[in-house]
Amino acid sequence: MTTIFSGIKPTGHLTLGNYLGAVRQWVAATGAGAPEETLYCVVDLHALTVEHDPARVRRLSRQAATLLLAAGLDPEMCTLFLQSHVSEHTRLHYLLECTASDGELRRMIQYKEKAAKAEAAGQGVRLSLLTYPVLMAADILAYRADEVPVGEDQRQHVELARDLAVRFNQRYGPTFTVPRATLPAVAARVMDLQDPTSKMGKSHDVTTGIVYLLDEPDVVTRKVMRAVTDNLGGVAYDRATRPGAANLLDVLAACTGGDPVELAAGYDGYGALKRDVAEAVVETLRPVRERHAELAADPAAVEKVLRAGAERARSLARPVVDRAYEAIGL
Ligand code: ADP
C-alpha cells in the first residue's frame, strides 16, 4: 500500500501557487477507489518559526483546514489534521535532530532566504527556523510515507527527509520508509504576478502579484490583467528571458490541462493570453469558493473532522515512533 503525506503552513491565506503546486494533487490522490493511505496536515508548529501572532495562527489553521475541505478533500477518504494535535511529530523530531547535522541544515535554501529576511526586519532568527526541515522530516517519516506531493520549493526538504531516513535505517536498523517528492507536471512553481522571478508565497506581503483562493472573480481578473510580462513582441514560452509570460502559460496549462509551449503558439499578444488566464483561474477557483462559503458557516463540523483526523493520525504514527525510540536505544 502506498502512503501519501503532505502539509501546509498556516502562515497566510492559501494561494493559487499552493493550489496548483500541491493541494490539487492531494485531492486527486483521494479519488474513489484510490488504494492509498492519504494524510494531509496543517503544519501549525511550522508557523511558529518566524514572528507570529497566537490568535492569527489559530485562526489561519482552521481557515486552512476549511479551505482544504473546500478544495475537495473528503474526510472519509483521507486523514486531515493539525500537526500540534499529534505529539508523535515532536517526539520524533528530537530523534531526527540527533541524526541531522548543523551543516546540512545551514545549506537549506529556504533557511538562508528566511534567516536573511528575519535579520533584515530586526527580528532575530529563531532556532526552529534552522531545524524546521527536521520537523518536516519527522512529519513525513512518522507515517512511513512513500510519496510527498509538493511544489518545487519543497523538493530540497523532502531530500533531507530521505537522507535522514536512510541514515537512521543504516545506523539503527530498518525503521523508516524512504519517501520521495512528487511534483505536478506543470505549475510546480507558480511565480508572483508582479515579480515573476520570485515564487507566489502566502506569507509574503499582500500584493496584486498574489492570487488567493478566495479572491472574488473581478479581483482575480484585475490581478492577472496587471501581471508583469515583457515587450519582446509576440508570445513565447521561455522561463529565462520571459518569466512573466512563462508563468501565465504555466498557470493556463495547469488550469486547462494543455501544454504551455503549445498554448503559446495560439497567441500573438499578451492581452488575449491574460484574458484567457483570468477566465481559467476564475473557473478553477469557483467551486472552491462556493464550497468554502458553506463550510465556513459550520466551524464545529471542521473542528470535528480535525479531532477525528488527529486520532487516526496518532494511531498510525505511534507504533512507528515507538519503534524509532527503541531502535535508537531508549
Ligand atoms: P507557502 O510557501 O505559500 O507558505 P507552504 O510552505 O505552506 O507554502 O507550502 C504548501 C505547499 O504548497 C507545498 O507543497 C509547497 O511546495 C506548495 N507551494 C507553495 N508555494 C507554491 C508556489 N508558488 N508554486 C507551487 N507550489 C507552491
Cβ 17 under 6 angstroms from ligand 1: yes
DSSP assignment letter at 272: H
Asked if residue 198 lies in contact with residue 216, where contact means CB atoms within 8 angstroms, the answer is no
Per-residue tens of pLDDT for the chain, all 330 residues: 899 999 999 999 999 999 999 999 999 999 766 767 999 999 999 999 998 999 999 999 999 999 999 999 999 999 999 999 999 999 999 999 999 999 999 999 999 999 999 899 888 999 999 999 999 999 999 999 999 999 999 999 999 999 999 999 999 999 999 999 999 999 999 999 999 999 999 877 778 999 999 999 999 999 999 999 999 999 999 999 999 999 999 999 999 999 999 999 999 999 999 999 999 999 999 999 999 999 999 999 999 999 999 999 999 999 999 999 999 999
DSSP state of 121: T
Query: Are the C-beta atoms of 145 and 138 separated by less than 8 Å?
Result: no
**Of 1.10.240.10, 3.90.1150.10, 3.10.20.30, 1.10.1200.30, which CATH number belongs to 217-293?**
1.10.240.10
Is the CB of 150 inside a 6 Å radius of any atom of ligand 1?
yes
DSSP state of 8: E
Stretch(es) of the chain classified as CATH 3.40.50.620: 3-182+299-328
Ligand 1 atom at minimum distance from 202 CA:
3
- Does 24 contact ligand 1 (Cβ within 6 A)? no
82 lines ligand 1 (CB under 6 A): no
At 266 the pLDDT is 95
CA distances from residue 12 to 18, 168, 282, 288, 295 in whole angstroms, order as listed = 11, 34, 20, 17, 19
Rounded to the nearest 5 percent, the helix, strand and coil shares of the chain are 55, 10, 35
149 CA distance to ligand 1 centroid (A)? 11
Query: According to CATH, where is 1.10.240.10 located in the chain?
Result: 217-293
Count how many Cα atoms sit within 13 Å of the Cα of residue 109 in the half-sphere of its side chain: 8
Minimum CA distance residue for ligand 1 atom 21: 17
Please name the helix (run of DSSP H) or strand (run of DSSP E) that holds residue 38, with its range, or none: strand 37-42
Q: From CA 322, how far away is CA 207, in angstroms rounded? A: 45
CA of 18 to the centre of ligand 1 (A): 5
pTM equals: 0.96
What is the Cα–Cα distance from 103 to 101, expressed in whole angstroms? 5
Q: Which residues are annotated as a binding site?
A: 9-11, 17-18, 139, 151-153, 190, 199-203
Rg (CA), the chain: 20
* Cell 482544504 sits on residue: 68
Residue 207: per-residue pLDDT = 84
Q: How far is the CA of 94 from the centre of ligand 1 (A)?
A: 25
Indicate if ligand 1 lies below 6 Å from the C-beta of 21: yes
d(CA 236, CA 225): 18
CA of 330 to the centre of ligand 1 (A): 36
CB 248 within 8 A of CB 229: yes
* SS3 of residue 88 by DSSP: helix
Compute the distance between CA of residue 255 and CA of residue 270 in angstroms, rounded to an integer.
18
Q: Are 252 and 223 in contact (CB under 8 A)?
A: no
Q: Which atom of ligand 1 is nearest to the CA of 199?
A: 23
Ligand 1 contacts CB of residue 71 (under 6 A): no
Domain 3-182+299-328 top-level CATH class: alpha beta
Tell how far the Cα of 17 is from the centroid of ligand 1, in angstroms.
Answer: 6
Which of 102, 111, 163, 173 lies closest to 137 in space, CA to CA? 163
Cα dihedral across residues 72, 67, 161, 106: positive or negative = positive
Query: What is the model's pLDDT at position 260?
Result: 97
> CB of 8 closer than 6 A to ligand 1?
yes
* Residue 36, pLDDT score: 79
- The pLDDT of residue 9 is 97
> What's the longest Cα–Cα distance across the chain?
66
Mutate which of 9, 13, 15, 18 for ligand 1? The one with the most ligand atoms within 8 Å of its CB, which is: 18
User: For ligand 1, atom 2, which residue shows the shortest CA distance?
Assistant: 201
Beta bridge partners of 39: 5, 79
Separation of CA 234 and ligand 1 centre (Å): 31
pLDDT at 35: 64
Q: Note whether ipTM > 0.90 here.
A: yes
199 forms beta bridges with: 191
Identify the pLDDT of residue 202. 87
Per the listing, cell 514572528 goes with 51
Active-site amino acid positions: 114, 199, 202
